Amino acid sequence: MWLSELSVSGFRNLAEQSARFDSRANLLFGPNGGGKTNILEAIAVLASGRSFRSIQDSQILGFDAPHFRIAGVAKTERDRAYNARVYFSPAESKHYFLDRKEIGKRALFSGWLPVSVFLLDDRRLISGPPAQRRAFLDDAVGKVSRTYRFLMADFRHVLAQRNALLKRGGGPAEYEVWEKPMAELAADIADRRRDYWKKFTSHFHLMSARFLETDELKLEYIPSVQAGEDYAEVLRKGRRLEEKFGHTRRGPHRDDFRILLNRRPLRAFGSYGQQRMAALALTLAEAETALTAGRRPVYLMDDVAAELDDVHTKLLFDLVKTKGQLFYTAAKPPAVEGKRFHVKKGKIRQV
């Protein structure tokens, strides 16, 4: 899929405007603070319902705007068009629409357009908290499996019910009501993650070998519940203690992964540069996995040239240019082919 049109209003510093994009490469350039990253962010919010920079929607709302609205048209290779829209106001919170139908949950909306984000100054996937890696993984699996999105939405629902019960306390029968579906959903989720992880890992190894030529990187999945464990029993045994915490401490919502660099944790022993390259390999692997599942990715690359040397920038271009649609920001336009846009003071103008 590729994004053919984007309209924004009330989003960060962006003026109310529309733009039409190229199905291959789109190059956005202009002065610092002009709004280049904000455009990529708007595309990411349209694709996944959330920003890669702020958790709070009130931060991405334009300073004086009562609400924001991001709308877009995306086309498939067979020219089927999808219309999507995200609306937010502090009073009404956020709403998602796909082909004029409202989608009630972000988890179900996210991934309708498979976007992969490259922010090289940001090593959140390596050194950030586990929640960021889980969000990355859930988005990634959700892009290749709609069923997975439904499973996760259902799991979050029953998890919230059990957590509410833990806070107020309840009898065994009340717990059973939520723990049984939780265990069933968790098993299904674990299967799909395992399947995804196998493919993802092999792409990651290929990609990390290209960008970290001399180092050996290894991905390690850290499940909260082991494959041989009975999750229903884990939940049952955990009730007493978890009532003290008021939430469920084990389950698929607590999985994590880590990267080993020459057999040591990258987050502790890797240099800034190594961590950045590993983060890049993770994003590339995610896009490659989507691609092999038949979903052509949209690559959002924010200022990558500022952090990569020329050889790696060219390598990155060559890796993605034929594989999906590219949005690429830089202070100066790069010497590559594509539709060019100048972005200044929140306005985007084709040049």
Ligand X SMILES: Nc1ncnc2c1ncn2[C@@H]1O[C@H](COP(=O)(O)OP(=O)(O)O)[C@@H](O)[C@H]1O
Binding residues for ATP: 30-37
Interaction between residue 26 and Mg ion (CB under 5 A): no
The position carrying tokens 């996937």 is 125
Shortest distance, position 263 Cβ to ligand X, whole Å: 38
Q: Supply the minimum distance, in Å, between the C-beta of residue 43 and Mg ion.
A: 13
Cα–Cα distance, 257 to 130 (Å, whole number): 8
- Report the distance separating Cα 308 and Cα 327, nearest Å: 17
Within 34-73, the residues that bind Mg ion by CB under 5 A are 36-37
Looking from the CA of 293 toward its CB, the CA atoms found within 13 Å total 21
Identify which of residues 89 and 161 has a Cβ nearer to ligand X in the complex: 89
Smallest CA-to-CA distance from 110 within 45, 61, 159 is with 45
Q: Which is nearer to Mg ion, 130 or 333 (CB)?
A: 333
Nearest to residue 326, comparing CAs of 294, 284, 293? 284
Query: Closer CB to ligand X, residue 34 or residue 49?
Result: 34
Answer with the entry of ligand X, Mg ion, none that 66 interacts with (C-beta below 5 to 8 A by kind).
Answer: none
Nearest to 42 by CA among 24, 69, 76, 81: 69
Asked whether the beta carbons of 73 and 83 are under 8 A apart, the reply is yes
Q: Which does 142 bind (CB under 5 to 8 A by kind): ligand X, Mg ion, none?
A: none
For position 325 contacting Mg ion by CB under 5 A, the verdict is no
Binding site for ligand X (CB under 6 A): 12-13, 32-38, 59-63, 343
Nearer to ligand X by Cβ, of 38 and 313: the residue is 38
Of 285, 286, 219, the closest CA to residue 256 belongs to 219
Feature table: binding site: 30-37
User: Which one of Mg ion, ligand X, none is in contact with 53 (Cβ closer than 5 to 8 A by kind)?
Assistant: none
Query: What is d(CA 154, CA 107) in angstroms, rounded to the nearest whole number?
Result: 10
Q: Residue 114 binds which one of Mg ion, ligand X, none, with CB within 5 to 8 A depending on kind?
A: none
**Given the rule CB under 5 A, which residues bind Mg ion?**
36-37
